[in-house]
Amino acid sequence: MNRGKLLTVIFLVTAVPTAAVIAAVRSEPIQPIEPAKVANPALVELGKKLYFDPRLSKSGFISCNSCHNLSMGGTDNIKTSIGHNWQEGPINAPTVLNSSMNLAQFWDGRAADLKEQAGGPIANPGEMAFSHVLAVDVIQSIPGYTEEFKKAFGNETVDIDKMTLAIAAFEETLVTPNSRFDLWLKGDDKALTKVELEGYTLFRDSGCVACHNGPAAGGNSFQKMGLIEPYKSTSPSEGRSAVTGKDADRFNFKVPTLRNVELTYPYFHDGAANTLGEAVDIMGRLQLGRKFSDEENAKIVSFLKTLTGDQPSFLLPILPPSADNTPRPTPFEK
Amino acid sequence: MNRGKLLTVIFLVTAVPTAAVIAAVRSEPIQPIEPAKVANPALVELGKKLYFDPRLSKSGFISCNSCHNLSMGGTDNIKTSIGHNWQEGPINAPTVLNSSMNLAQFWDGRAADLKEQAGGPIANPGEMAFSHVLAVDVIQSIPGYTEEFKKAFGNETVDIDKMTLAIAAFEETLVTPNSRFDLWLKGDDKALTKVELEGYTLFRDSGCVACHNGPAAGGNSFQKMGLIEPYKSTSPSEGRSAVTGKDADRFNFKVPTLRNVELTYPYFHDGAANTLGEAVDIMGRLQLGRKFSDEENAKIVSFLKTLTGDQPSFLLPILPPSADNTPRPTPFEK
């Protein structure tokens, strides 16, 4: 230890009081999630209503919450999602929880941030099948909404930028602190059982943390699905290469967060793994070249379940009614 | 007035203090809605989760709340509902709000009560397309649910009777007191504007209250749609006769509640009227043989909007996750 480091250690040890030492964060590749800070509550309230509003879809039936259901870990718990006219989606809906921590949005990272992402499904013919122009027309015609735009933005004009900004502002609040793993990270030795801690140690020391690290335990890099062994899937998705055009990016996907993973089944971009046990087994073999024993697998699964944090807690939003001149949904129009 | 009645009146006048006199109910054909009394909170909490749980459908995508959306007046605001595989429903989804006051459930009254109703859509191939046996299998497999069944019923066994009883118990809490009209009924003269009160007087004195009366302003009788003039509809629904088999019941439908009618568009069993103005015009002509002037129509509409009461207010329910052995949804299975 050189002299500078030694001095720093001494300074920390002497300067930090006991309570803070207990609350100190353990030095681990996964860090705790902190509660969201809300800068503009009116913007978040508006975004929450828009997030729950199926009038952003052609059918009047599909909202953001349909596939990123906040009652179910921010997912739909279906292999691939159901879109307009019951179309089968090409990919598993990723959780919206803690998604503000992702380096980019969608499995292939084609949206830079939550605001850009929010505009995608509205206009996707296979999802909400609407258009930005029509969505703006609907929202602009609803007096209860224009009042909220005034509160959030200072004026009543509705446009898609403001709408997606509001949805993103709401989504930024959807973080899940206080998981048992975070309590342990913050120094509470009793927060994890012996088996859970053994599971974490195995998870860390086997190399899972190479990709699943940071506060979200993932979401911060693109990695190849099928590193040691190729991943066999019926899904046509080739991941990141669709964005970069580079052959080297084929089957590179954004590493999903493991936060609340107990709630976000089924797993992988194709939703092919129904249980955490399956997912751990496949990841071990394909990404690490390691076959976990049943006991090891169970230990890792028990650790993963400690990553479930506080779920979103708010009153069910009540949406402002359409006006007489609000364009009506056309769910069965060909 | 006989002596007994006279004594009662004197007793009331002398015994009731001023504040209570102000809170007295005006003698009108519509009565105020009272807040719900909850006998078994654990049962209501369980019912709330089941109401929001799409795992009661074959697809894992449709819950009770999909078509009776508590963010939107307990309806889907679509002409006719979207069912499994995007099937077009035969009828407009009636509001669940205040539905405990209905003399029977569904437009044709084929279910005696909310408990019986709750089982219908789950097993209807055009709606949730599941079966009671499969729905019970799913719920019984989920530890978070069996714990709640134990709290609500004293034991963990799941069956369809308990499930629908819980959903009905939750629905019984979905009453909407404190509308401005109710405040006026309870003696607050300032709760309505002059125009709104004129609208109510017109509504009452034109005969609308013959069917729209009681606390729910409807829901308590079956009446013929198209009494003076026949109602022209593309809907195949013939209403009550499908239940009774009697020709005299053709086109008899349960009178819908007018509570929260501002939120429950579009109107009628076929959802053919998009606006309250249209609905009032058609009702006046077909049921009363009266053509309301534009001014009269607007007054009645302004009264109808005073029937919007307190909307359901509760935290978004967080659903317990499926277990490894929980049967998975099969949205795209033929």
Q: What 3-state DSSP class applies to B105?
A: strand
Interface test with chain B among A319, A326, A330, A333, by most B beta carbons within 10 Å: A319
Q: Is the confidence at residue A7, as pLDDT, over 70?
A: no
What's the pLDDT at B8? 42
> Phi, psi at residue B55, to the nearest 5°?
-70, -5
- Residue B238 half-sphere exposure toward CB, CA atoms < 13 A: 10
Q: Is B127 a catalytic residue?
A: yes
Between CA A333 and CA A94, with CA A329 as vertex, the angle to 5 degrees is: 95
- Each residue of A181-236: pLDDT tens digit? 999 999 999 999 999 999 999 999 999 999 999 999 999 999 999 999 999 998 99
ipTM of this predicted structure: 0.92
Q: Is the confidence at residue A327, as pLDDT, over 70?
A: yes
What's the pLDDT at A24? 66
Interface test with chain B among A72, A76, A280, A334, by most B beta carbons within 10 Å: A72
Q: Is the confidence at residue B24, as pLDDT, over 80?
A: no
Q: Mean pLDDT lowest for which of A156-165, B10-19, B152-161?
A: B10-19
Which of A52, A318, A328 lies at the smallest CB-CB distance from B274? A328
**How close B272 comes to chain A (CA, Å)?**
12
What's the pLDDT at B95? 98
- Each residue of A18-34: pLDDT tens digit? 444 445 689 999 999 99
Among residues B28, B34, B45, B127, which one is catalytic? Answer: B127
Residues of A in contact with B317 (CB under 8 A): 71
pTM above 0.80?
yes
What's the pLDDT at A112? 96
What's the pLDDT at A91? 96
Instruction: For chain A, say whether B123 makes contact (Cβ under 8 Å).
Output: no
Instruction: For chain A, say whether B54 makes contact (Cβ under 8 Å).
Output: yes
The first and second tokens of residue B28, run together, are 């009108």
Tell me what the mean pLDDT of segment B134-148 comes to: 98
The separation between CA A165 and the C-alpha centre of its own chain, rounded to angstroms, equals 17
Tell me what the mean pLDDT of segment B46-58 comes to: 98
Q: Is the confidence at residue A11, as pLDDT, over 80?
A: no
Q: What 3-state DSSP class applies to A273?
A: strand
What's the pLDDT at A23? 54
Residues in B 310-329 with any Cβ partner in A closer than 8 A: 311-319, 321-322, 324, 328-329
- Each residue of B258-307: pLDDT tens digit? 999 999 999 999 999 999 999 999 999 999 999 999 999 999 999 999 99
Q: Is the confidence at residue A12, as pLDDT, over 80?
A: no
Question: Could you give the dihedral angle defined by the CA atoms of residues A243, A247, A251 and A252, in that order, rounded to the nearest 10 degrees?
Answer: -60
Instruction: For chain B, say whether A251 makes contact (Cβ under 8 Å).
Output: no
- Each residue of A41-51: pLDDT tens digit? 999 999 999 99
Chain A: residue nearest B50 by CA? A71
Interface test with chain A among B51, B78, B145, B306, by most A beta carbons within 10 Å: B78
Q: How far apart are CA B211 and CA A230, in angstroms?
A: 68
Q: Residue A279: which residues within 8 A CB-CB, separation 6 or more?
A: A267, A268, A273
CB–CB of B82 and A88 under 8 A? no
Q: Is the confidence at residue B149, as pLDDT, over 80?
A: yes
Interface contacts (A, B; CB < 8 Å) = 105
Q: Is the confidence at residue A16, as pLDDT, over 50?
A: no
- Each residue of A126-144: pLDDT tens digit? 999 999 999 999 999 999 9
Residues of A in contact with B266 (CB under 8 A): 328
Q: Is the confidence at residue B110, as pLDDT, over 60?
A: yes
- Each residue of A32-78: pLDDT tens digit? 999 999 999 999 999 999 999 999 999 999 999 999 999 999 999 99
Distances (CA, A) of B212 to A212, B36, B279, B281, B286: 61, 21, 14, 16, 15
Give the class (CATH, top level) of A41-171: mainly alpha
- Number of other residues whose CB lies within 10 A of the CB of residue A303: 26
Q: Is the confidence at residue A4, as pLDDT, over 60?
A: no
Which of A71, A313, A332 lies at the smallest CB-CB distance from B88? A332
Q: Is the confidence at residue B19, as pLDDT, over 70?
A: no
Chain A: residue nearest B55 by CA? A77
Chain B: residue nearest A332 by CA? B88
Q: Is the confidence at residue A10, as pLDDT, over 90?
A: no
Percent of chain B with pLDDT over 70: 93
Residues of A in contact with B318 (CB under 8 A): 71, 311-312
* pLDDT class of B20 with cuts at 50, 70, 90: very low
Mean pLDDT of chain B: 93
Which of A79, A82, A313 lies at the smallest CB-CB distance from B315? A313
What's the pLDDT at B25? 86
CATH 1.10.760.10 in chain A, residue ranges: 41-171, 180-307
Q: Which residues of A are catalytic?
A: 127
- Each residue of B309-321: pLDDT tens digit? 999 999 999 999 9
* pLDDT class of B23 with cuts at 50, 70, 90: low
CB–CB of B313 and A316 under 8 A? yes
A178 neighbors A310 (Cβ within 8 angstroms): yes
- Each residue of B59-99: pLDDT tens digit? 999 999 999 999 999 999 999 999 999 999 999 999 999 99
What's the pLDDT at B6? 43
> Phi, psi at residue B21, to the nearest 5°?
-65, -40
Interface test with chain B among A61, A80, A178, A275, by most B beta carbons within 10 Å: A61
CB–CB of A324 and B72 under 8 A? no
DSSP code for A189? G
Tell me what the mean pLDDT of segment A277-297 comes to: 98
* pLDDT class of B9 with cuts at 50, 70, 90: very low
Which of A52, A88, A318 lies at the smallest CB-CB distance from B332? A88
Residues in A 88-117 with any Cβ partner in B closer than 8 A: 88
Candidate CATH numbers 1.10.630.10, 2.120.10.30, 1.10.760.10, 3.10.620.30; the one for domain B180-307: 1.10.760.10
Distances (CA, A) of A271 to A27, A65, B101, B169: 33, 19, 44, 35
